[in-house]
Structure 1
C-alpha cells in the first residue's frame, strides 16, 4: 500500500517540485495546503502517514506550532522543510520531537529516505507505546505487587498493590527513592549483592526471601523475583513481590513446635496409613536405639515387637480409627531386653478432614511395669503363704481395714468371711486388744520390724488368750498372724 503524504508549504514552486518528487518515488499525495489551520483540518479528515511541513508558514500558526497540534491531536509524524539553520529555530524543532529536518534545496533521494525512516520510526514508536500501555495495564491489574527499579536502584514505578505493601496510598512517597532504604538492615547486604550481579550480568533474580520495611519502619517478610525489562526506553528490573509475613510466621511456629517435639524425653512417631514411619523424634532414638535416618520410610514391623506377629493394622490403625484416641501397652525386644512401651495414638488428617496417618506418643513404662509385676507376684505369694498356714491370719492395710484373712474354722470368730473383709479392726478386736493392735500395726509400717503382743478374746469357744505377730508386707499392708496360747 502506498504511503499517504500531505504537504504543508506556502511556496508554489517548491510545492510543485515536491509533487513531482513524490510521484516519482511512488507515494500517494493527499494534497498541498498553505497554512496551519487547513493542515490540521486535512489531518483529521484524511489521516496521512507523513506530513511534510514548512517551518515558516504564513497565517496564525507557523510550521512548528502546527506540528505540535498535529502531534498532540493525531500523533502523525512530521518532517520539517526549511532553509533556516538558525540555532533558535533548530531548538524549537527539537522540542517538537519531529521525525526529520530537511534543509532546502532538497534532493529527491534524500526526501525518499527521510520519509521511509520517519514512517518506520513512527511505527516503532507506536509499537513501543502499545507495549508500555499493555505493560502498565498488566502492572496495574496484577494480583501481585510490582515494582520497576532502575539500574541505580531507584524506584521508577509501582502498582497499587506495591503501594499497599509499603502501607501508603501515595506513589510520591516512594517514587525516585532507593529500594535498598526499605530493606531491613540485616538483609541489605544480601539484596545489594544480588541486585548488582543482576545489573552487571543482565540477568534476573531468582526467588529470594527478605525483610522489607514500610514507610513507617514496620518490618514484614517478602518473597521476590526480578527480571530485566525495558521501561520508558531504559533498562530496568521488574520486581514481583509478595507479602509472606503470615506464611513465615506460620513456618516459624511449625519449626518451634517441631523443635519442641523433637526434644521430648518421650518418643513421638508418625506413620502413614500403610504403617511406614514418616517422622521420628529424639525420644524415639533414645527409646528404640535407632536414628531418624535409619527409621524414616521403614515399616512398623521394624520396631522389634516381642514374640508375636507384628501388625500395624491390628495394633494401631483399626483401634485408633474406632476410638480416635487409643492407648495400648506393648512388649518390645530392644537390644535383647524386654521393654514395655505405652503407646497413645491419634489419627492424622489433611485439610479436608481425610485420614492420612497416625501419630503415636511413646513412653517407656518398663520400670513401672516390672514393679507392678513384682508386686503382683509378691501378693500372689503372700496369698499362697496365707493359704498354706493353718493359723488365723489377717491382711490389714494402713487404715486398719481387713483386706483378707484365712482361718480353718470361721465359727471361732462367730463372723463369716464376707463380713470381715472390708471391715475395720474393731470388728474383731476391742478394748485393750484393739489399742495394742493399732499401735503395733502403725509401728511395723513405720519401722519395718516384726512386732507381737498378747491379748484375751472372747470367742464361740469361750475366753482364750492369743499371741498376734505383725509383719510388714509392703505396699502399706501388714500380715497379722494369730496363734492361740495353750497352757503347758
Structure 2
C-alpha cells in the first residue's frame, strides 16, 4: 500500500494578491518542525522560500547568496550569535526588511531587537493570517521607504549642484540650505540651520518679509516672488530675487525658497536710470550678462554675455536679436516684445532658450526694463544663465511624474488587496476547517501509534529517524533524544546495515514498493536483538518523502502465541505531529 500525505492539503489553493506570488522569503528558524510548518504556510500563500537557515552563519551566507525580498528571523538560534545579530548584519549588507519570530523574549532582548528597526514581530505559534498581513505590510513599507530615499537623494544631488540658493524653512527656522546659500549669505550651513529665517533679512525689509513668511506658513495668500536685501555675515548688504513655494519636508509643511544674487543687476539698473554714460562702464564689467535691443536689433552687449555665448561683439551688434533665440521660443519672445511696446502690462521677467555660437542650447532668465538709447526707446535686458536650474527642474518634474505613477500603482495594489480580502477570509476559513480535521485525525493516529505493541518508526530519505513510538523506545531502551535525528544504520549491526542502505538508495531513485526482511537492532545495552521488519514508503504529491517501518522481535514471536504480523502499516495523515 502507498501512503499519501496530501489528502488534507491542496497546494493549488489560490494565493491572495498578485505580486506577492513572486516575493522571496528567507526563513531562519532552528526548530526543524516549526521551520517546515512555516515554509508550508508561506508556500500556500504564494511566496517562494528559497532557503532555510538555523544559525547566524548560514543565515548571513544564504541572504547574501539568495538576495531575498524579506527575512523571517527567529530571535533564538543555534550557536553563539542570535537572530538579532544576524538581522543586523543582513540589513547592513542588503537593506532588506526583517520580521522577527519569537515564542517569548525578555525586555532587554526586545530592546536589542528594536534597535535593528524590524518591519514586524510574529509570536509563535504562527497564525497564517498574521503571517500574510505582516509580510504584505513589510514589503509595502519597504518599497515606499526605498522610493522616498531615492527621491531625497535625487533632490539633494540636484540642489547641491544648482547655481541658485535653495533653502527650506519650517516653524520659522531653516532646516535645509544648499552650497549656493552658504556662498550668498556668507554663513556656514550649520550656522544657517540654527537661525530664524528672517535673521538674514536686512532690517529695512525684515518686517515685510517676516509678515509674508508667516502668512505663507499659515496657508494664507502671500506674494511668492519679490526682491529684498539680505545682510551677510560680514555685514555686507546684498539684493536677492526671491521665490517661495509651499512643500512637504520630513512629512511636515514647509516653505522652499529660491534666491538669486541680483546685487549687480540692481546696481546696474540704478546707474542706468541716472546716466547712460555712467552705466555703460558698469554693465561692461558686471558679472551678469547685459544687452540692449532697439528696433529688433542688438545695440549693446557686455563682456559677460560675450563670454557666456561664445560670440564676439562683431557677431552680434547690428544683428536681429531673434537670430540667437531658439526657434521654438522666437514667436513667444516676439509677441511679448510687441505687446510691451503697445503698452500692455507684460511681466518684466521670464525665461527662454538661446543658441550659443556652437549651436548649444542655453536657458536664460531675462529681466527687462525700458530705457532711452541714443535718444530713442530701447529695451535693457539682464540675462542670467539658468540652464542647470532648468535642467534640474525638468528632471525633478520627471521624477515627480514617475513618483505619481508609482503612487498610482501602489494605490491600485492596495485596492486589489482590499478586493481580495474576502477571498482570503474564505481561504482562511477553509484552512481553519482543514486544520481542525487534521487535529482530530492526528489524535486518532497518535493513540494508534502510541498504543501499538510493536515498534513503529519513520525516517526520511537520508536515513534520519523522524519518529519512534513508545513501544520502540521500550524495546530499544533508548530515550527519544538519543534516537531522533540519528541515522537508522547506527542502531543496526554492520552486516545487516549494508543491504538496507542499498534499499535506501533505490528508494531515493523512486522505488515505491514495500519490503519485509529480518534484521538485528542494537539496544541501549549494546546487544543485538533479532527482529522482523515490514517497511513501506510514505508518499506526498506522488513522491516518496520517507519510510514507515513496523518491527517485532523474532524470539518473542516464536516463544509466545503466534500473532499475525501486519503486512501493511496503517496510513498516516500529512504533517503528523509525532514526527520530528
Q: TM-score, normalised by structure 2?
A: 0.43
1:99 aligns with 2:119: yes
What SS is found at the alignment partner of 2:172? coil
Pairwise CA distance, 1:105:
1.8
Tell me which of 77, 80, 84 is aligned to 1:64: 84
1:132 aligns with 2:152: yes
What SS is found at the alignment partner of 2:104? coil
Question: What residue number does 1:236 align with?
Answer: 254
Tell me which of 154, 169, 175 is aligned to 1:156: 175
What SS is found at the alignment partner of 1:80? strand
Deviations 1:232-262 (A, max 9, x none): 444332211111111112223334459xxxx
Question: What residue number does 2:553 align with?
Answer: none
Distance 1:35 1:152 in 2: 49
Pairwise CA distance, 1:46:
1.1
Pairwise CA distance, 1:222:
0.8
Distance 2:59 2:77 in 1: 11
Asked if the contact 1:202–1:228 (Cα under 8 Å) also holds between the matched residues in 2, the reply is: no
Pairwise CA distance, 1:164:
0.6
What SS is found at the alignment partner of 2:239? strand
What SS is found at the alignment partner of 2:163? coil
Q: Please report the RMSD computed on the Cα atoms of aligned residues, expressed in angstroms.
A: 3.0
Pairwise CA distance, 1:203:
7.4
Pairwise CA distance, 1:85:
4.8
Tell me which of 235, 238, 254 is aligned to 1:217: 235
Question: What residue number does 2:58 align with?
Answer: 38
Question: What residue number does 1:2 align with?
Answer: 22
Deviations 1:43-62 (A, max 9, x none): 22111011001122232432
1:49 aligns with 2:64: no
Question: What residue number does 1:192 align with?
Answer: 210
Distance 1:48 1:349 in 2: 71
Aligned length: 271
Distance 1:103 1:297, change over 3 A: closer
Deviations 1:311-331 (A, max 9, x none): xxxxxxxxxxxxxxxxxxxxx
Distance 1:273 1:72, change over 3 A: closer
Pairwise CA distance, 1:141:
1.6
- Where does 1:238-257 land on structure 2 (aligned, <5 Å)? 238-257=256-275
Question: What residue number does 1:123 align with?
Answer: 143
Distance 1:138 1:35, change over 3 A: same
Question: What residue number does 2:164 align with?
Answer: 144
Distance 2:74 2:218 in 1: 46
Distance 1:244 1:9 in 2: 65
- By percentage of residues, which structure has more strand? 1
Question: What residue number does 1:201 align with?
Answer: 219
Distance 1:113 1:213 in 2: 56
What SS is found at the alignment partner of 1:56? coil
Q: TM-score, normalised by structure 1?
A: 0.51
- Where does 1:188-337 land on structure 2 (aligned, <5 Å)? 188-201=206-219, 206-257=224-275
Pairwise CA distance, 1:204:
7.9
Deviations 1:179-233 (A, max 9, x none): 2211112222212222222222187861121211212232211111122333344
Question: What residue number does 2:184 align with?
Answer: 165
Distance 2:216 2:115 in 1: 35
Distance 1:204 1:68, change over 3 A: farther
Distance 1:29 1:78 in 2: 15
1:76 aligns with 2:96: yes
Distance 1:239 1:297, change over 3 A: closer
Asked if the contact 1:205–1:227 (Cα under 8 Å) also holds between the matched residues in 2, the reply is: no
Q: Greater relative contact order (Cα 8 A, min sep 6): structure 1 or 2?
A: 2
Pairwise CA distance, 1:123:
0.3
What SS is found at the alignment partner of 1:72? helix
Distance 1:204 1:128 in 2: 30
Distance 1:205 1:62 in 2: 59
Distance 1:273 1:69, change over 3 A: closer
Distance 1:206 1:87 in 2: 52
Asked if the contact 1:203–1:227 (Cα under 8 Å) also holds between the matched residues in 2, the reply is: no
Distance 1:217 1:346 in 2: 39
**Which protein shows a greater Rg?**
1
